[in-house]
Amino acid sequence: MNDPKPPLTGFGNQFACEAVPGALPVGRNSPQRAAHGLYAELISGSAFTAPRADNRRTWMYRRQPSVVVGRYEPYAQPLLKTGAAAGVAAPPEPLRWHPCEIPADAGDFVDGLRTMVVNGDADAQAGMAAHVYLVGRSMTQRAFIDADGELLLVPQQGALTITTELGVLQVAPGEIALLPRGLAFKVAVDGPSRGYVCENYGAPFRLPELGPIGSNGLANARDFEAPHAAFEADGAPHVVLRRTVDPGQVPHVLHRGQIRIDGS
């Protein structure tokens, strides 16, 4: 990545930043000719008709348009499940499981995902899934896009460096990371790493209201950090694994294509 800059603070805020001076257009979102030969694209996190308070979108100015990813092909990850339709009924008694050991030959973040429980239907945008990740090596020229839901990562062992289309996040045990639906990212580790993932199919996460507990309880927006815009200088191609609905085959599978990790 280019020289890192301090993160931006806030949850659900409106941010404007650029990795290269002059990259952001002034007074408009999608000029006919963007600066530096970039391509303007919109990442939508809600319907474009959503009220202002609920409207979530990010304007990106990329070195190449996202459509150059080309055709996808199925990618097998049998331990990663979506939705409750293909699952089994849970018995009524309490359940628990022992901590999952990190295999000696553990792969990267995508191959290391293991589904524990699922609920609801990603196609209907209702419910969630709980996964663990068991990671032994970094994602190098691979990126992951989850179009089924947003991801809440909770590291338990080992720090994560998460490189996204919007910048870089450093996440250690005791911290959490929230990755929006549809955002390309890759995960680097310093050694064997383990943690939890909440995949939310429904409405986006928001901070809980305060109410009777007063004005200073629970999490504060200032405690959350958003990355400053960044890009990988070499622009090397990445294989992208996209998790999305595929009604013609398995209900939800990974697909493989090719992109570059770009920032604005």
Cα–Cα dist 183/165, whole Å: 7
- Report the percent of the chain where pLDDT is more than 90: 39
Q: Is residue 82 part of a domain?
A: yes
Residue 100: CB atoms within 10 Å: 13
What pLDDT is stored for residue 252 in this prediction? 38
Strand-pair partners of 242: 145, 255
Residue 152 confidence class, pLDDT cut points 50, 70, 90: very high
What pLDDT is stored for residue 55 in this prediction? 87
Tell me the mean pLDDT in the region 142-156. Answer: 93
Q: Is a pLDDT exceeding 70 seen at residue 242?
A: yes
Query: Mean pLDDT in the chain?
Result: 85
Q: Is residue 134 part of a domain?
A: yes
Q: Write the CATH number for 230.
A: 2.60.120.10
What pLDDT is stored for residue 14 in this prediction? 87
- Overall number of domains in the chain: 1
Residue 263 confidence class, pLDDT cut points 50, 70, 90: very low
Q: Is residue 1 part of a domain?
A: no
Query: Measuring CA to CA, which residue among 53, 4, 7 is closest to residue 223?
Result: 7
Residue 243, Cβ density class (10 Å: 0-12 exposed, 13-18 middle, ≥19 buried)? buried
What pLDDT is stored for residue 168 in this prediction? 92
Site of tokens 């199925």 = 74
Convert the pLDDT of each residue in 198-241 to its tens digit: 999 998 998 888 877 777 767 788 889 999 988 887 777 788 88
DSSP 169-233: EEE-TT--EEE-TT--EEEEESS-EEEEEEEE-SSPP-PPP-GGG-TT-S--GGG-EEPPP---T
Q: Is residue 181 part of a domain?
A: yes
Convert the pLDDT of each residue in 102-122 to its tens digit: 999 999 999 999 999 888 888
DSSP 107: -
In terms of pLDDT, which residue wins out, 204 or 83?
A: 204
Cα–Cα dist 75/134, whole Å: 19
Q: Is a pLDDT exceeding 80 seen at residue 23?
A: yes
Q: Is a pLDDT exceeding 90 seen at residue 251?
A: no
Contacts of 37 (CB under 8 A, 6+ apart): 63
What pLDDT is stored for residue 111 in this prediction? 93
Q: Is residue 118 part of a domain?
A: yes
Q: Is residue 135 part of a domain?
A: yes
What pLDDT is stored for residue 227 in this prediction? 92
What pLDDT is stored for residue 194 in this prediction? 97
Classify 155 in phi/psi space as left (phi over 0), alpha (psi -120 to 50) or beta. beta
Q: Is a pLDDT exceeding 90 seen at residue 139?
A: yes
What pLDDT is stored for residue 98 in this prediction? 84
Domain of residue 46 covers 8-259
What pLDDT is stored for residue 4 in this prediction? 64
Q: Dihedrals φ, ψ of 213, to 5°? A: -80, -5
Cα–Cα dist 194/197, whole Å: 10
Q: Is residue 264 part of a domain?
A: no
Q: Is residue 203 part of a domain?
A: yes
